[in-house]
């Protein structure tokens, strides 16, 4: 009985489909936590934005129905130290990666 190890097998959680794990992507979403369009549950997953057919990694805010994204204007900051954003209009697609 010496040097015996006890292995305990715990039942795993039931498999969940991706639709139940991930919340639906909203029409309007913002990275800024002070915005009313910030939804914390969505940011727990990796999100991708395709703007005019190209994947963008610098999108701060988007609106699919109005067809625009807000991106930083270089290294420029506003008076509160936040990046200065510009609005680009075009076709917007949001998806989970």
Kindly state whether residue 6 falls inside one of the protein's structural domains. no
Kindly state whether residue 92 falls inside one of the protein's structural domains. yes
Closest CA to 30 of 63, 54, 52, 57: 63
Kindly state whether residue 44 falls inside one of the protein's structural domains. yes
Kindly state whether residue 4 falls inside one of the protein's structural domains. no
Mean pLDDT of the chain: 84
Kindly state whether residue 62 falls inside one of the protein's structural domains. yes
Kindly state whether residue 73 falls inside one of the protein's structural domains. yes
User: Could you give the number of structural domains in the chain?
Assistant: 1
Strands lying side by side in the sheet with 54-56 = 54-56, 47-51, 92-96
pLDDT in tens, 62-96: 999 999 999 999 999 999 998 999 999 999 999 99
Domain of 82 in residue numbering reads as 25-96
pLDDT in tens, 7-48: 455 455 554 555 457 889 999 999 999 999 999 999 898 999
């Amino acid at each position: 009985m010496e040097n015996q190890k006890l292995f305990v097998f715990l039942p795993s959680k039931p498999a969940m489909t991706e639709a139940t794990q991930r919340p639906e992507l909203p029409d309007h979403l913002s990275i800024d936590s002070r915005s009313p369009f910030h939804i914390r549950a969505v940011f727990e997953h990796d999100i991708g934005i395709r703007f005019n057919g190209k994947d963008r990694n610098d999108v701060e805010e988007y609106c699919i129905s109005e067809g625009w994204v807000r991106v930083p204007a270089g290294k420029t900051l506003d008076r509160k130290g936040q990046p200065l954003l510009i609005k680009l209009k075009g076709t917007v697609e949001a998806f989970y990666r």
